[in-house]
Amino acid sequence: MSITEERMKTIDFSIPYASSPVAFLADKNGPLAQLSNSGKMIDLSKDDAEAKAAIDTLRKELTGKNVGLQVSTTEATFADKYLKDVANVHEYKTTDEHDLDLMAGRIDVAFADTTYFLGTLAKPDAKDLAFVGPQFKGGPILGPGIGAAFRKTDKDLQDIYNKALKAALDDGSVSKYSMQWFKIDITK
């Protein structure tokens, strides 16, 4: 689960073991195929002009467009903050549902975690889809990475887990399995 300030109010997390930015997916031959800043990584942890400019440009380019995303995710929080007043944000119970609407042309762009989209892009019926626009990571909404969640009362279990996780990070196991299952190294 993405480690965010809001979630840390009610649960604790392990040390981060992965960092997977969020991204947009659209028809590679459609009107959003040429979104500005495509392929660029924007770190929202940095309060800088580059991040502000990228978001401002994205807001202009998505004005009036239909954006699909999964409900109750960091992507939904991001869209609520930056896009809901300019785009038509459609929330879905599952990511598969927004993928189907994207392929059917009912939404212009889908917004989710990049590792999720790698699985989508591997499907034969997604041959006309591609990453578009910038990718985002960090900041209070997207957090410092992905970690395991623990009840605040489970400090002992959290400590045991962190010790084992640190060993798996240090010996390269997490990176190895990331490459095996995601085809990219998403470790921090």
| φ, ψ of residue 171 in degrees (nearest 5) | -90, 0
Q: In angstroms, how far is the first alpha carbon of the chain from the final one?
A: 14
Domain that holds residue 81: 20-142
CATH of the domain at 123: 3.40.190.10
- pLDDT tens over the chain, length 188 residues: 989 888 999 999 999 998 889 999 999 999 999 999 999 999 998 868 999 999 999 999 999 999 999 999 999 999 999 999 999 999 999 999 999 999 999 999 999 999 999 999 999 999 999 999 999 999 989 989 899 999 999 999 999 999 999 999 999 999 999 899 888 888 86
Tell me the two tokens of residue 4: 């965010």
87: left (phi over 0), alpha (psi -120 to 50) or beta: beta
The answer to whether residue 123 is domain-embedded is yes
The answer to whether residue 77 is domain-embedded is yes
Are residue 162 and residue 94 in the same domain, yes or no?
no
| φ, ψ of residue 161 in degrees (nearest 5) | -65, -45
Are residue 80 and residue 106 in the same domain, yes or no?
yes
The answer to whether residue 36 is domain-embedded is yes
The answer to whether residue 148 is domain-embedded is no
Helix (H) or strand (E) holding 11: none
pTM for this model (two decimals) = 0.88
Are residue 160 and residue 111 in the same domain, yes or no?
no
Give the strands of the sheet with 22-27, arranged side by side.
41-43, 129-137, 22-27, 109-113, 66-70, 88-92
Place of tokens 């999964």: 70
